[in-house]
Structure 1
């Protein structure tokens, strides 16, 4: 079911009309986050219909013991659960003694939700006729503060429409929550203290096993027609729950409002301090500002984010809404303030996949954060991997690797592998290459080489050691081969010589050798420190080079393409267009056995390599490989359409590029994969940004210079974006017949557009005809 109920507008996501079947999908789409916490768009009031409750605290997780029928050596001991945290948004409401519940109301009229992406708030409005025939108008506004990132705020308004009413509000905290997914139905949280007095409430709890100590807090006040009522609530508490109760009679036409501040403090951010006391300090800051001022600061914070990261599209409102939704959700998930955090594939919108870190961060997210924020944000993401290097070495040791070889995890919270599907955990080893590529990509874009001698070279050595040991010499081929792997295309498992994996392995080794020489020549102290720490020898490096120089790559002379893996041409090569639509998506309609024997590709695999290393191949080679592999690609991974959009744009196949762009930008809004109720696809949203900037805009960095080769979809009048490049902010405005450039900052820079050099000077716009 496509999400056609969502109205296309440039700056908002709008739902009109109440449909119980769409509640869980909307809970995902209207999710909120501020980098430190997030929540699905659950109703504040009671809802007895189908709902997926979800509130999450960044970095807080539970190691749910792995459940498998056959334990294998080296198997991860647990699957990291992104934990549903204690709920602070709840407000029970009674009207003349009848509970407000949209599932049981006689009528719900004028129902509307709006997620205002420009200003960072979420609003719900409706008229309801309750079972007792009382009629009310409701408006609820909610946001998670960027200014005070431990605080969220709600204003819940109830207006008496046609009679005098008695309204009772009961704001509450609830730690009696469970996750949607659990291997053993374990208890994830232990509540240790409930504290309530005046208009404040606190629940202290910690996670079992991981011992993350938290305090969930709230504070509330009542307003009548906008004026604060000096009214002390009645307090109620039980084992895992604490609430306040306010009752007030109102006349026809009156509006009774509850303002509620809530949120979390976490010991990780306040070591050794009393979390209740810290929560009181946080609430005092929120109270001093007040709801309206805090909302104004929210609007200012988002204005600053959009000033740098916005992409405008004129002439195509669905495309415009799509890219802003993606940029908005990325910024709600990660803002780069804390190097201990990362970008989970569902962010704060659901629990599927577990963990907070995949190779998606390095392959897709780092380019977005490098270009739309200062370089420290991307450096923090790289530092995250350096901080986990020892765990990566331990992960490799569990699988039998030695001598400091490092295998970064497929999924992790703390550097330890916590994904327990064998064919992915142990075989999808290409993630090591994405991390090495990100180090290269960061230096290429920012010009900041310091990361490599300080941290990156140790990571590269661990990765090179892994590839050297993972490859084996084939006497028959007289080449080094890599056996038993899964490439990015997860619809092929346990294959030999996945081209993308082999190519990455060769490149990683060669890149590491180059950096060793450069650090040796220019950073002698760092070189001595690193060699001493890793016990690296010239002889070992020579062995690495031997593997890289003699790496095997499967190739078809007949098709003139690199083969995805040794046996790809043994498959029955029926293209996707000849696959009946009733059998799509195949991951929901076919057995796994049938999928594995098919030629169908979940996401870019060989083409992912051509995306990373496009300067290694000619445009003609790209076209040959694109035309061969794309017809077999079902794009059932969220990470697939963006890469294909970029490459189709490079090949000037603009109709295809536009189709893939719409698919990646509206993947969740239009629910292409029929699973949006489980949460959003956060990391692929960075690929949406790439499909405009690198695809249509043709932005690249080479030889310390920005390059552009702009193209524009026929449907668009214009589009524009900004790039923060080494302290200069370059604005690119692409129209049908020309591209306009401007630069802010103090310095001029020279770029290239359509192979011509263009000097950009502050305060001067320059147009380049297409």
Structure 2
């Protein structure tokens, strides 16, 4: 393992910190220290340049396609962050000279990034303090500040700072250059337009100084895709200067703009920035921190009392990142697999959102969850497009989604094949199809948890019907065995391609169809208006007959004599490989240094939770004996090469009463991004694993589940925890759940409905708690 630069302190569960500078490991901190607000996301590259850095800034939903041979991706927006300091004729470079008192930290509670150090090189002796934030109050605003104190002799400075549009997405340039100008001699502005999607961007930045009398001269500099301001100043011994830089970005797809013309955006951007600079950096930072408190931390706090303080730190870290990546401002957008923290997966949305991140928002911030599901509803047109291309009916959701109407945007080719030397084909976009039932599962869980009947009537039911319509058209009849099968698929385990009857796929398809039947029968009887509308739109009567005819004959794999549920038709007959050497490695994917995917496909090697995930989502279908035997069988064969895997195993380990093992797995899960390995997050954080941390804590150890539409609470705290305290939103009521090893208490805090009573299950018994009431249950 490489030496770690990360440092966490017992009494600071809201602070993540790098304790020293190493030019070789910039990417980890750029990702895990990323800033954002769901509209705007910025990797935390330094102000000064370094070899190996990756300057990425993204605006949600602004997808562009560089070339017809490439898939659409979020474009890397022109950079505000860079500030080039030339000091006594030398560039600021921490690879040179002596660095003391180095600290690079992110306050998860306020979203403030701070970097501090003293730099001594030749005749230079300076103290720097950088501060930065992306506003949680104003989606368009980014603030920077640097304070420089001269600890040595008189020193001269040249500062070059502005907007740099020469960045690319790993070589792909998405922007056509527009105008560059300096408004009223202070605000620098750049207009650029995405090449294919034709989205206009207006970016503005302004500099301010604590003492403008220190500025000897200044001038503007314009070059290709760049506009900068150059400032020259001197600092005498013990003299200081504070430089602030405020920036904003607007696009022609923003819904908070009254007009979409470039001229209007230029005017709005400049006017807002002029007001902001008068308010000042500290005021704007305070407003942002207050928005974090009011919108995130205040109403749904979660507290773990553990012997390991990093359990709480990891939970705070996960929630911070979930909120800086979720586009709560616009239902036309969703969460990418890397959030807004890097170019990995090109900004695309996958099933990660529906299964691993949506539960957090459904149970705490349902208004955000509804936006994420609205994205899926708007994506029905893209899902219809994909189904039609594959000669199916209904909604076949894309494996990777971008703009909701685009359809499938997964790339076709991936990493090199170690044997052939050629690119490996990515089959997920073609035959990994469980995404359709994953979307339906998220929809149903949201409806169950919120009782949002308006969403159900006008969006949710339609998605459940349309995905079930896809599945019934996808089934293949086996005349010899008189059953319907689902062949030639990839299940959640992406190391098994072109398999037949993947258990997760078949069972989730059956659940999807069964749920559609129940909803059909319910609304036909209880809501004839909605039924008639949806029947006319989707042809439900005909499809219902197909559901009823085919569902009883849909093949659902059964456990063998050893109580092991086969992952697919062929898995259990394949060669077994000892994975011990690979499981000891910190890096993922090391298996492919020795084998190619075809070879792995023919061995009992599982990339991630597959059968295990099936047990977590549909626990009532399988006996405890089957779950235990399958756990023992599949765990040694699972690489956890997907960040989705460990948290799933945590939840099932708790269900199986293996709390010690669950806690060990939780330690690994929480360290995927936050841990010591310095190359784990180079392409961005692992968004779904962060949702998985909440799932592990609340659904796993906390025992909170939605089972068959009902709330269930059955805590199983690990021995390392004294207590767990969290809040949820259930049917519009906010509940506080306080758990110890001896008991748990459910407190009804407030509700949108008068005289509401909340029911929940625990250990097979039904309980009720009334408004403003509290109920304590012994374990």
In the superposition, the TM-score normalised over structure 2's length comes to: 0.91
Over 3 Å counting, the alpha-carbon distance change for 1:319 and 1:580 in structure 2 is closer
Aligned position for 1:717: 722
Q: Deviations over 1:303-351 (max 9, x none)?
A: 2211234322222112121111111100111152211111001111111
Establish whether residue 697 from structure 1 lines up as the match of residue 688 from structure 2.
Answer: no
Aligned position for 2:438: 434
**Equivalent of 1:222 in 187, 209, 213:** 209
- For the residue of structure 2 that corresponds to 1:745, the secondary structure is strand
Q: Provide the aligned C-alpha RMSD in A.
A: 2.3
Establish whether residue 736 from structure 1 lines up as the match of residue 722 from structure 2.
Answer: no
Aligned position for 2:186: 199
**Equivalent of 1:414 in 393, 399, 403:** 403
Please show how residues 356-371 of structure 1 align to structure 2 within 5 Å: 356-371=348-363
Aligned position for 1:272: 260
Aligned position for 2:343: 351
- Farther off after superposition, 462-471 or 759-768: 759-768
Deviation (angstroms), 1:737: 2.9
- Distance in structure 1 (CA, Å) of the matches to 2:188 and 2:502: 56
- Distance in structure 1 (CA, Å) of the matches to 2:427 and 2:667: 31
Q: Deviations over 1:485-524 (max 9, x none)?
A: 0000001001111111111111211211221222222222
The 8 Å contact of residues 221 and 229 in structure 1, kept in 2 or not, is answered as no
Aligned position for 2:420: none
- Distance in structure 2 (CA, Å) of the matches to 1:668 and 1:676: 6
Gaps of 5+ in 2: 413-425
- Distance in structure 1 (CA, Å) of the matches to 2:726 and 2:201: 40
Aligned position for 1:543: 546
- Distance in structure 1 (CA, Å) of the matches to 2:581 and 2:54: 37
**Equivalent of 2:57 in 55, 58, 63:** 55
Deviation (angstroms), 1:589: 4.5
**Equivalent of 2:158 in 165, 168, 173:** 168
- Farther off after superposition, 541-550 or 29-38: 541-550
Aligned position for 2:242: 257
- Distance in structure 1 (CA, Å) of the matches to 2:322 and 2:343: 17
Aligned position for 1:23: 26
Please show how residues 649-660 of structure 1 align to structure 2 within 5 Å: 649-660=654-665
Aligned position for 1:566: 569
Aligned position for 1:485: 489
**Equivalent of 2:518 in 511, 514, 521:** 514
Deviation (angstroms), 1:435: 0.7
- For the residue of structure 2 that corresponds to 1:686, the secondary structure is helix
Over 3 Å counting, the alpha-carbon distance change for 1:230 and 1:149 in structure 2 is farther
Q: Deviations over 1:358-403 (max 9, x none)?
A: 1111111111001221x222112111111121221111111222xx
- Distance in structure 2 (CA, Å) of the matches to 1:634 and 1:343: 25
Please show how residues 442-591 of structure 1 align to structure 2 within 5 Å: 442-538=446-542, 540-574=543-577, 576-577=579-580, 581=584, 585-591=590-596
**Equivalent of 1:117 in 99, 103, 108:** 108
Over 3 Å counting, the alpha-carbon distance change for 1:66 and 1:410 in structure 2 is farther
The 8 Å contact of residues 199 and 232 in structure 1, kept in 2 or not, is answered as no
Deviation (angstroms), 1:599: 0.8
- Farther off after superposition, 678-687 or 150-159: 678-687
Aligned position for 1:281: 271
Over 3 Å counting, the alpha-carbon distance change for 1:764 and 1:530 in structure 2 is closer
Q: Deviations over 1:12-68 (max 9, x none)?
A: 1011111112222211111111111111111112x232211211111112224465x
- Farther off after superposition, 505-514 or 571-580: 571-580
The 8 Å contact of residues 73 and 402 in structure 2, kept in 1 or not, is answered as no
- For the residue of structure 2 that corresponds to 1:187, the secondary structure is coil
- Distance in structure 2 (CA, Å) of the matches to 1:704 and 1:570: 38
Gaps of 5+ in 1: 68-77
Please show how residues 274-313 of structure 1 align to structure 2 within 5 Å: 274-304=264-294, 305-313=296-304
Aligned position for 2:364: 372
- Farther off after superposition, 739-748 or 715-724: 739-748
- Distance in structure 2 (CA, Å) of the matches to 1:653 and 1:614: 16
- Distance in structure 2 (CA, Å) of the matches to 1:671 and 1:149: 32
Deviation (angstroms), 1:634: 1.3
Please show how residues 56-95 of structure 1 align to structure 2 within 5 Å: 56-65=58-67, 67=69, 78-95=70-87
Over 3 Å counting, the alpha-carbon distance change for 1:728 and 1:112 in structure 2 is same
- Distance in structure 2 (CA, Å) of the matches to 1:246 and 1:39: 25
- Distance in structure 2 (CA, Å) of the matches to 1:547 and 1:2: 55
- Distance in structure 2 (CA, Å) of the matches to 1:128 and 1:693: 45
Establish whether residue 153 from structure 1 lines up as the match of residue 162 from structure 2.
Answer: no
Please show how residues 638-657 of structure 1 align to structure 2 within 5 Å: 638-657=643-662
- For the residue of structure 2 that corresponds to 1:236, the secondary structure is strand
Over 3 Å counting, the alpha-carbon distance change for 1:232 and 1:168 in structure 2 is closer
Aligned position for 1:213: 200
Establish whether residue 749 from structure 1 lines up as the match of residue 741 from structure 2.
Answer: no
- Distance in structure 2 (CA, Å) of the matches to 1:443 and 1:742: 23
The 8 Å contact of residues 710 and 754 in structure 1, kept in 2 or not, is answered as no
Please show how residues 622-633 of structure 1 align to structure 2 within 5 Å: 622-633=627-638
Deviation (angstroms), 1:683: 2.2
Over 3 Å counting, the alpha-carbon distance change for 1:699 and 1:101 in structure 2 is same
Over 3 Å counting, the alpha-carbon distance change for 1:49 and 1:674 in structure 2 is closer
- For the residue of structure 2 that corresponds to 1:677, the secondary structure is coil
The 8 Å contact of residues 310 and 327 in structure 1, kept in 2 or not, is answered as no
